[in-house]
Every structure is written in C-alpha cells, then in structure tokens.
Structure 1
C-alpha cells in the first residue's frame, strides 16, 4: 500500500517539476494572469511551493522507510 502511495507521489513530483516554468516564460503564467482561475499568481505560487515541499518530505520519509525495511 505504501509503495503505491510512493509511486503516485513520485509521479506527482515529476509532473510538478515539469510544470514549473521560469517567470520570464509566457506560457501558463500569462494564462493564470488573464483568467484569474487560480487566484493571484503569487498566492498560487506559494500554495504550490507548500504542496511540493510536503510531497518531497513524504517521498524522503517513504524512501528511508523502504530502505530500512530492505536491510
């Protein structure tokens, strides 16, 4: 069960890392500014940073758990 969660956490992190774009790039940042779909761009950036940090922490904890169980 934990391995599935670890797998989906890994996919989520890969997806988030590929979605992150520099602020100079026009792509999704201009969409967020024009549509105001996600609220203010700064607020959505902070929320995404928190979610990414929590996902990375969970990934590390599960990796350590699996590594200790294998030995």
Structure 2
C-alpha cells in the first residue's frame, strides 16, 4: 500500500513540476490567461506551491516508512 502511495505522489510531483508556468515564456503565460485553466495566475501559483509542499512532505514520510519497513 505504501509503495502505491509513493508511486502516486511521485507522479503527482512530476505533473506539478511540468504544470509550473515559466515567467519567461510568453506563449504559456498567454495560454493560461486566455484559457483560465488554473484561475488567476496568483491563486494558481499559491495553490501549486501549497500542493507541492504537501506532496513533498507526504513523499518524505512515505519514503521513511518504506525504509523502516524494509529493514
């Protein structure tokens, strides 16, 4: 069960990293402002920051639990 949760969190973190909007890329910024995919840019960035932080903490917890259970 922990391996499944760890794999899910890993893929979620990869997805979040790819979802980040580069500030330099005018093409992606205009796409997100026109499509309103994630809401306003400030709220989307805040939500992604919180989601990333929580996901990292859960990933570390699962990794420690898996390490302890394998020994």
- What is the CA distance between 1:52 and its match in structure 2? 0.9
> TM-score with structure 2 length normalisation?
0.85
CA distance in 1, matches of 2:44, 2:20: 12
Which of 1 and 2 has higher RCO (CA within 8 Å, sep 6+)? 2
> TM-score with structure 1 length normalisation?
0.85
Once the two structures are superposed, what CA deviation does each residue of 1:41-62 show, in whole Å capped at 9, x if it has no partner?
A: 1111100110111111000000
Structure 2 stretches lacking a partner, 5+ long: none
Query: What is the root-mean-square deviation in Å for CA atoms of aligned residues?
Result: 1.5
Aligned residues: 71
Structure 1 stretches lacking a partner, 5+ long: none
